[in-house]
Amino acid sequence: MAVRLSPTSLALLAAGVERPAHARERLRPGIVHLGIGAFHRAHLADVTDRVLADPAQGDWGIIGVSLRHADTRDALAPQGGLYTLALREGAAGGAIRERLRVVGSVLQVLVAPEDPRAVLERIAHPDTRIVSLTVTEKGYAHDPATGQLRWEDPDIQHDLDAPDAPRSAIGMIVHGLALREARGLPPVTLLSCDNLPANGATLRGLVLAFAQEYDPDLARWIGLHCTFPCSMVDRIVPRTTEADRARISASLGADDAWPVVGEPYLAWVIEDRFAQGRPAWDRVPGVRFVPHAEPYERVKLRMVNGAHSTLAYLGAMAGHQTVPQAVGDPHLHALIDRMLNDEVAPTLGVVDGLDSRAYAAELMARFANPALPHRTRQIAMDGSQKVPQRLLNTLRDRLRAGQPATLLALGVAGWLHYLRGYDETGARYEIDDPLAGELAEHLALAAAQAQAGPLAEAACLLTFRPVFGDLEGNEALANLLARHLGALRVRGVAATVREVLP
């Protein structure tokens, strides 16, 4: 049996594997991270690990928190929190280049459902100075169209009455901060790293809304003293497969139960507003602190995420299993290239150092990376939470300016088409979305309206306010969706894309 990756087996690893450059026994945990999935472990935890090599940065170890399941804790605990980050890219001659780095910044993983009080105590610990999050869009229990807290969410309702055993990220944060305030401890920084417009401001609004309902004095303390910087993270991180685990363990020379796979590219932009200091993350290439993250966030959401989702929905419907397969389809490649350059780029405004055409070309190359077979159906998850900020906000800007939005609308139509639950090959799949039930009911209602014509159906679809918000009644968008949905259903993805491209 192969040796297990752990602090005691580091010296036994294969030559060429990068190891943590710090004395882990001297680290103190200054960061509590909610949502310790692959995305976090491929960016914040990795970047933090690299700056921990400086002994003066040793107060920034990480306590990870799983909000739902114990699988990450069960995998990493026997490894002392260590795991491997495998950065993969295509090389000359069709080869795959992979660089392995063992990350040692995660000191412990807590499982919230098993012991929520332990999570609250860690947020309220004197050593904690940053509480960060990657809980995905749906983890914020908010209405994607308005950014408002969904008070009807069962976890939010539960958390208002259960301060010692919260379930949601918002409840966990507020009740942890309540302990800090009650004990006279300093405030902390709340750092969202999720794909949300103005993610820091959104998190602040949700936290303050919950706190105001729970305890107005606590809300006042949080609003005055805690900080909520916005940030933008860009690194493609597919779900780790069993084949990844086996390959990485073999190359490592030790068994790693849960490695992470990602691309070498990394961009992380963070507003420099921290309540109690911060790690020197900007020592790592690709990371920088800025006064305002919004321009960079807009580029990421509209260019990277908007294109990713459009590829995922249309690619999945055409039968493409992965993003490299989808972007290798000449019709889809041409569609995304035109959408980025003709419809998305003009909405970005002036962004320091951005050449939008070069950025789009680089992005297409990243999507085509053969070493990262990111599954289209994984990206297609949770569309009700993603489509508003990835596609609809861009589309709004185009429609308000009286400019064409045909290609963006095809991405939205692709999502609606994907919700039927089977692709063009006849393969069926589940709709993984927090609003799946409500969407199914609304789709059935819209289908009944189709008897009055495709425009009536599309107009009905736009009345689903959690997603479309103020776009309800928008005749231009209804006409575009009616046209695209009809074409997708009758002629399929390839023919529809050919028809819309000039």
For the stretch 34-48, pLDDT in tens is 999 999 999 999 999
Contact 288, 261 (CB under 8 A): no
User: Would you state the pLDDT for residue 353?
Assistant: 86
The residue ranges of every structural domain in the chain are 24-291, 294-500
* Beta strands, E only, 213-265: 231-234, 260-262
DSSP one-letter string for 80-108: TT-EEEEEEEE-GGG-EEEEEEEE--EEE
Q: Give residue-wise pLDDT tens across range 424-474.
A: 999 999 999 999 999 999 999 999 998 888 999 999 999 999 999 999 999
The answer to whether 24-291 and 294-500 have equal CATH topology is no
User: Would you state the pLDDT for residue 373?
Assistant: 93
- pTM score, two decimals? 0.94
Q: What angle do CA 106, 136, 64 make, to 5 degrees?
A: 15
CATH topology classification for 24-291: Rossmann fold (3.40.50)
Q: Is the dihedral of CA 403, 406, 411, 416 positive or negative?
A: positive
User: Would you state the pLDDT for residue 378?
Assistant: 96
CATH topology classification for 294-500: N-(1-d-carboxylethyl)-l-norvaline Dehydrogenase; domain 2 (1.10.1040)
Q: Give residue-wise pLDDT tens across range 224-253.
A: 999 999 999 999 999 999 999 999 999 999
Q: What is the 3-state secondary structure (H, E, C) of 268-309?
A: EEEECCCECECCCHHHCCCEEEECCCHHHHHHHHHHHHHHHH
Q: Give residue-wise pLDDT tens across range 65-110.
A: 999 999 999 999 999 999 999 999 998 788 899 999 999 999 999 9
Nearest-angstrom CA–CA distance, 409 and 478: 9
CA atoms within 13 A on the CB side of 109: 27
Ranges of the chain with pLDDT below 50 = 1
Nearest-angstrom CA–CA distance, 76 and 417: 39
User: Would you state the pLDDT for residue 180?
Assistant: 98
Please state, as a whole number, how many other Cβ atoms lie within 10 Å of the Cβ of residue 257. 17
Distance between alpha carbon 472 and the CA centroid of its chain, in Å?
Answer: 27
Contact 302, 390 (CB under 8 A): yes
